[in-house]
Amino acid sequence: MPPPSANAHHNRLVYNPCDQQGFFSPPLMSPLPITVLTSVFNGALYLDAAIESVLAQSFTDFEFLLIDDASTDATPALLAAWARRDSRIVLVRNPSNLGLTKSLNKGIRLARGEWIARQDADDISLPQRLEKQMAFLANHPEVGLLGTGSILIDSQGKIANQTLLNPTDHTEIKWQLLYDNPFYHTSTIFRRELGLQHPYDESLRFGQDFELWGRLLTATQGANLAAPLVYYRHHDNRISTIHYSQQIENALGVMRQRILSLVPDRPWSLQEIKAMRTLATSSWPTRGESVETALLLLKLFAAFAVGEGLNPKTLSDLQARLLDRLWRLARHLPLLRDQKTLLIAMWRYDKWQTLASLRRELKRFMVG
């Protein structure tokens, strides 16, 4: 189906790109607080729910930039119908499929909003998402990247009874960036200026958000609201499901580069990084954990903790939690020499925190 004709109505513009790359300059118009940005390719199945959730926001002063990445299903017709119903919608159709990464960069260039709010075409934003994010940002001008928690839903929209929260503090977010993604992409909002200066890496078709956060957080502070404000839909056709292996491979490569920038005195194999990630994130205890992995994680934290601009209280809390975890690991190590090696390393790193962790662990053991 061909895209709808170019026209303007109130604040709504429906673009019909005429060049081969789909690049064009929209008419000069007054800026807005927010551009909600969605790129969709053959996403008709869940598109109505995603669009409806954005248009139902309690914060209403935004444009909704929807990029159709050359869809071949009912997506173009659905988008055209929605655009006729709400003047805040801006439609863009790529002449050929660019992929998510390039489409998002294109959207950032076209956006009129001071802030870019991401919205995936298969997820749902709760009605107060943008209002709560903008209220937080107004009170925290140092923050240029903000996410929220999420509620997991299945392909039918049924709530999976699982609320997922990410760290709220900039220092903990920076630490988590070394081994995991501290943001749900579909929940994020960031300054457009930052997105122009630090665009998504177009060499990555998958996992582009995880790579971007590291660069954005060299120029601004990050935060997450401690509330689930999006429904994150898990289904078989989701990009992160279909291309899971490639996404993990890309993420491990990004992690390795970040770790090497902190601790360049060793090669850091991908297997070592995967093992550290497991130790830092998995339910306790898990198989395959080793004293070597624990020592690497402690070495990495020691290098991270001397960085600039970090919150001392958060660092202390992170260190206490890490040492508590390593104490529990020591209890499960089968060899006495490995237990001794790990405990000596912990003692040398911080004997007082190590003693405090021992007291907490003994208390848990006695109660249990």
Summarised one tens digit per residue, pLDDT across range 239-271 is 655 666 788 899 999 999 999 999 999 999 999
Total domains present in the chain: 2
Q: Is the pLDDT of residue 112 over 50?
A: yes
φ, ψ for residue 291, nearest 5 deg: -65, -35
Mean of pLDDT over the chain: 88
46 versus 284: the higher-pLDDT residue is 46
Determine, yes or no, domain membership for 258. no
Same domain, 214 and 308: no
Distances (CA, A) of 363 to 324, 328, 357: 12, 12, 10
Final residue of a structural domain among 246, 262, 294: 246
Same domain, 314 and 190: no
Domain range enclosing 44: 7-246
Determine, yes or no, domain membership for 77. yes
6 versus 78: the higher-pLDDT residue is 78
Q: Is 109 exposed, middle or buried (0-12, 13-18, 19+ CB in 10 A)?
A: middle
Same domain, 283 and 230: no
Determine, yes or no, domain membership for 252. no
Same domain, 294 and 194: no
d(CA 353, CA 349): 9
Percent of the chain whose pLDDT exceeds 70? 86
Same domain, 284 and 325: yes
Determine, yes or no, domain membership for 260. no
Determine, yes or no, domain membership for 122. yes
Beta bridge partners of 117: 36, 189
- The pLDDT tens digits for 204-223 are 988 999 999 999 999 999 99
The residue-averaged pLDDT of 166-176 equals: 98
Determine, yes or no, domain membership for 98. yes
Q: What is the pairing mode between strands 124-125 and 189-191?
A: unpaired
Query: Which SS3 state, helix, strand or coil, does residue 298 take?
Result: helix
Determine, yes or no, domain membership for 37. yes
Same domain, 89 and 32: yes
Same domain, 234 and 302: no
Token pair 């990445």 in the structure block, residue? 69
Same domain, 276 and 227: no
Q: Is the pLDDT of residue 137 over 90?
A: yes
Q: Is the pLDDT of residue 322 over 50?
A: yes
Q: At 288, is the pLDDT very low, low, confident or very high (cuts 50, 70, 90)? A: low
pTM for this entry? 0.88
Beta bridge partners of 90: 13, 65
